[in-house]
Amino acid sequence: MAELTRVLFVDDDSSTRAGYAKFLTANGYDVTVAATGEEALRAASLGVHVIVLDLGLPDIDGWEVARQLKASPATAEVPIIALTGADLPHERVSAMRAGCDRHIGKPCPPADLLATIRQALRTVRGTSDM
């Protein structure tokens, strides 16, 4: 049996975490959630395939989390998708400079997030799988 794709979903809002986690799990992903930047860094170090990251976190903001993840050899190649209410053009540029590979504004239909995750994984893996 193939290993499930591991998604780390990071958001400080519990209902957002629960809703997207439920949707992603129903679509075949192994989802770990985190509410803070510190939790995200710990969870990412355990091994994930893709990270969905809110930029407005209560401790370490998402921009700094992305910078730290991209600076670490263990997580440098993991795609990071910024999912955030910070959806102005200059914020998109800042997210990309911090290390995010993609940027999606909130609110985001779950199906759109799923498509973005699949696209990010195809880019990294060079395949057409989940």
User: pLDDT per residue over 105-125, tens digit each?
Assistant: 888 999 999 999 999 998 876
Can you give the pLDDT at residue 85? 81
Residue 85 vs residue 43, higher pLDDT: 43
> How far is Cα of residue 105 from the mean position of the Cα atoms in its chain?
13
Predicted confidence at residue 26, as pLDDT, reads 97
Say if 111 falls within a structural domain.
Answer: yes
Strands 50-53 and 30-34 come out as: unpaired
CATH number assigned to the domain comprising residue 37: 3.40.50.2300
Percent of the chain whose pLDDT exceeds 90: 75
pLDDT per residue as tens digits for the range 40-82: 999 999 999 999 999 999 899 999 999 999 999 999 999 999 9
Q: What is the mean pLDDT of the chain?
A: 90
- Ramachandran area for residue 99 (φ above 0: left; ψ -120 to 50: alpha; else beta): left
Domain ranges, residue 32: 6-123
* pTM score: 0.91
The answer as to whether 128 is a domain residue is no
CA dihedral 29, 68, 92, 47 (to 10 degrees): -10
The pair phi, psi for residue 8, each rounded to 5°, is -100, 120
Q: Decide if 17 is inside a domain.
A: yes
The amino acid occupying position 14 is S
Enumerate residues 6+ apart whose C-beta is below 8 A from 86.
55, 56, 95, 105
The reported pLDDT for the residue numbered 95 is: 86
Is 129 a member of any domain?
no
pLDDT at 1: 44
Quote the distance between the C-alpha of residue 121 and its chain's center: 11
Tally of domains within the chain = 1
Residue 41 belongs to some domain of the structure: yes
